Amino acid sequence: MITWIIIGVIVVVLIFVVVGAYNKLVALDQRADQSFADIDVQLKQRQDLIPNLVETVKGYATHEAGTLAAVTQARAAAAGATSVNDKVAAENMLTGALGRLFAVSEAYPDLKANANFQQLQAELSDIENKLAAARRFFNNAVAEFNAVRRQFPTVLFAGLVGYGSDKPFFDVGEGDRAAMNAAPPTVNFQA
């Protein structure tokens, strides 16, 4: 009789541990998904600014068609990406194309002085800052999810309930990593 009571208590404790661990996985998965949705909002705002930016540059730099086409193609790829890995790759390509676009603008003093271009550049810079914060939040949520998924006792049943693999981080690409190690750009407010 006492053996059955001990077995019953152990089973109840195990059920509570498993249910608690499962609920924590679900909550962390939801937090990571919500964090990625926040990134999606910022990416959409950035993608919506790009056609205006391209049109503004077109008026000044008509012979830079290759750069403008690259930005347009990169934006289309970013807008069509669905998975985290596809979005990361497409956004890294878009960031590189935008960098080339801003490099082109350096050759056109009239463009740099254009109020519309300056406003679009400021809005894009603001969105980039928000994106950086959203990426940090997402990567933190993913790290927490991945850590809990690998911990005991969660690791014993995570695969059985649909959480068998780690979530991917929103990582900067090799080009961005190289740019982070390069010298910072020089800012000159004198047109």
Go through the domains of the chain in sequence order and give each one's CATH number: 2-168 (1.20.1440.20)
Give the residue among 104, 98, 105 at the shortest CA–CA distance from 179. Answer: 98
The residues of the chain scoring below 70 in pLDDT are 61-63, 112, 172-191
pLDDT in the model for residue 140? 94
pLDDT in the model for residue 188? 45
pLDDT in the model for residue 100? 82
How does DSSP classify residue 151? Answer: S
pLDDT in the model for residue 172? 64
How does DSSP classify residue 83? Answer: S
pLDDT in the model for residue 25? 92
The 8 Å CB, 24+ separation contacts for 116-121 are: 116/52, 116/56, 117/53, 117/56, 117/57, 120/49, 120/52, 120/53, 120/56, 121/53
